Amino acid sequence: MNKRADTSVSLHPLIADRWSPRAFDNNALIPGEDLAAIFEAARWAPSAFNAQPWKFIVGLRGDENFNSITSVLVPFNQEWASRASALILTNVIGFREDGTVNQTAMYDTGLAVSLMTVEANHRGYDVHQMSGFDHAAAKSKFPLGAGIDPVTCIAIGKRTSPDSLSEEIKAREVAPRSRKPLDEIVNITW
Ligand SMILES: Cc1cc2nc3c(=O)[nH]c(=O)nc-3n(C[C@H](O)[C@H](O)[C@H](O)COP(=O)(O)O)c2cc1C
């Protein structure tokens, strides 16, 4: 299914063709090399003062981490994300080494996930991020220490037919994508 972004000028296909599917093939696996590349992409993201304020927990379908991450998702997300090849819990490190608050930690972490998404898409995987999960439960299942908090869960896998989804989720899968107009998000026009 093609859900290419409708843009005023042409974009790189990795950006134009990215979208967030929910129909994942529950037989697809991610080889270690692809997984390593996905996290290398995050690792080499820019961050303020090069603080790299992120920490990822990854589970592969069927393993203990995967089952733990699945268990903290809201039921809607559980229904489709449990078929992904990998689930990632993204955590943000909210403080700098000197103990002061890192004001851009969330921004930096989103940037790292953005690059991770591009690398995953480039390697033929699809990525779907989720804020719909129990943050307290995630923190207690994966205690990473003071000041390190869960932000998102991320499903990565191979897209399959929307027919594999329940009717409610399938309707979202096939719905057109939409965005605010360009002149609403930036102050100049071309
Ligand atoms: C931080 C974040 C949290 C999200 N949380 C959820 C979620 O809990 N469940 C879900 O189905 N989609 C979730 N999404 C996916 C968004 O709904 C999706 O990115 C948005 O509708 C734009 O669609 P597109 O990514 O296909 O362009 C989330 C996306 C982001 C970036």
Backbone angles phi, psi at 132, to 5 degrees: -80, 80
Provide the pLDDT for residue 61. 98
**Residue 189 confidence (pLDDT):** 75
By most ligand atoms within 8 Å of CB, the mutation choice from 111, 130, 152 for ligand 1 is 130
pLDDT at 152: 98
Q: Residue 147 in contact with residue 91, Cβ under 8 Å?
A: no
Task: Answer yes or no: pTM beyond 0.85.
Answer: yes
Using 70 as the pLDDT threshold, list the residues of the chain that sit under it. Answer: none
pLDDT score recorded for residue 1: 80
Map out the domains of the chain as residue ranges: 30-170
Contact between residue 93 and residue 53 where contact means Cβ atoms under 8 Å apart: yes
Report how far residue 98's alpha carbon sits from residue 183's, in angstroms, rounded to the nearest whole number: 41
Q: What is the pLDDT of residue 188?
A: 81
CATH of 30-170, one of 3.40.50.1970, 3.20.20.240, 3.30.720.200, 3.40.109.10: 3.40.109.10
Q: What spacing in Å lies between the alpha carbon of 177 and ligand 1's midpoint?
A: 11
* Residue with the two structure tokens 């103990």: 99
CA of 131 to the centre of ligand 1 (A): 8
State in Å: Cα 128 to ligand 1 middle. Answer: 7
